[in-house]
Amino acid sequence: MNRLIRIALVLAIAQPCLAVAQAPAGDSGQTAELTILSKTYPSGRHAWVYTPPGYPTSCNNACNLIIAFDGALYLGAMPLPEILDSLIAAKRTPPAVAVLFDNGAPPGRISDLANSQRFAAFVADELLPWIREHYAVSHAAHRTILAGSSAGGLGAAYIAFKYPELFGNVLSLSGAFWRGNEASNGPPFEWLTQGYAVEYFEVPGGQHSPDTWRVRLPLGIVALSR
């Protein structure tokens, strides 16, 4: 299978943040909290959905789509809705719908994000169709970004690796790529390199923490939205 996926791998980055304009007062997107029904997870799954200012007219009824794992993190310490408001206002990225998906705390979080075929199939076969049914988003893989940090960055890359026809971009911030299959601590450790070439950047001085990831998040979104 020919895999055409753009992957931004960032490890421990500590560089100046992308300068973005503040969204004008009253010109902010909306964020709604909801539960997504699922056959795989009968109790449903918790998430927040951001829609951009002027949605759906602002994106001609086909917004870019971002799915970010560890959704609570991207709602608080790494405020993705506010970042998108600013990037859109500055015309650095097209309007996008963002699904901030809640993976909870361990051990459930690792069961989701550490190379889990069950969770990957849920994202591809249930979550993505649900998003497309309820929100005006593009169906094009090259306009879809999976994002996450640490285990979330691993999960984003793994799901795109399994379903490249659906997910064309990955933003992985300090992805936990030492994991093997199904959350194992054994080989294969470098599974990602088996499908395509990977560009890897390590910048001294950064920390494995939201304080570091937050300043790189806008740059990754801009780079993968072109």
Cα–Cα distance measured from residue 183 to residue 107, given in angstroms and rounded to the nearest whole number: 10
Q: How many domains does the chain have?
A: 1
Residue-number span of the structural domain to which 99 is assigned: 6-15+29-224
**Does 79 fall in a domain?**
yes
**What was the pLDDT predicted at 103?**
93
User: What are the distances in angstroms from CA 165 to CA 123, 141, 143?
Assistant: 13, 6, 12
**What was the pLDDT predicted at 97?**
98
Task: Give the domain CATH number at 180.
Answer: 3.40.50.1820
CB atoms within 10 A of CB 80: 25
Q: CB-based contacts of 94: which residues, under 8 Å, 6+ apart?
A: 59, 63, 64, 88, 225
**Does 196 fall in a domain?**
yes
**Does 1 fall in a domain?**
no
**What was the pLDDT predicted at 2?**
42
Cα–Cα distance measured from residue 14 to residue 7, given in angstroms and rounded to the nearest whole number: 19
CB atoms within 10 A of CB 183: 16
Cβ(203)–Cβ(13) under 8 Å?
A: yes
CA-based angle 104:110:115, to the nearest 5?
A: 130
**Does 21 fall in a domain?**
no
**Does 144 fall in a domain?**
yes
The first and second tokens of residue 9, run together, are 């791998």
**Does 200 fall in a domain?**
yes
Which residue type is seen at 129? P
Q: What is the pLDDT along the chain (226 residues), one digit of tens a residue?
A: 444 456 656 554 333 344 444 545 458 999 999 999 999 999 999 999 999 999 999 999 899 999 999 999 999 999 999 999 999 999 999 999 999 999 988 788 999 999 999 999 999 999 999 999 999 999 999 999 999 999 999 999 999 999 999 999 999 998 888 888 888 887 766 666 666 545 566 656 778 888 888 888 998 899 898 7
**Does 177 fall in a domain?**
yes
The 3-class SS string of 160-201 reads HHHCCCCCCEEEEECCCCCCCHHHCCCCCCCHHHHCCCCCEE
**Does 23 fall in a domain?**
no
**What was the pLDDT predicted at 20?**
47
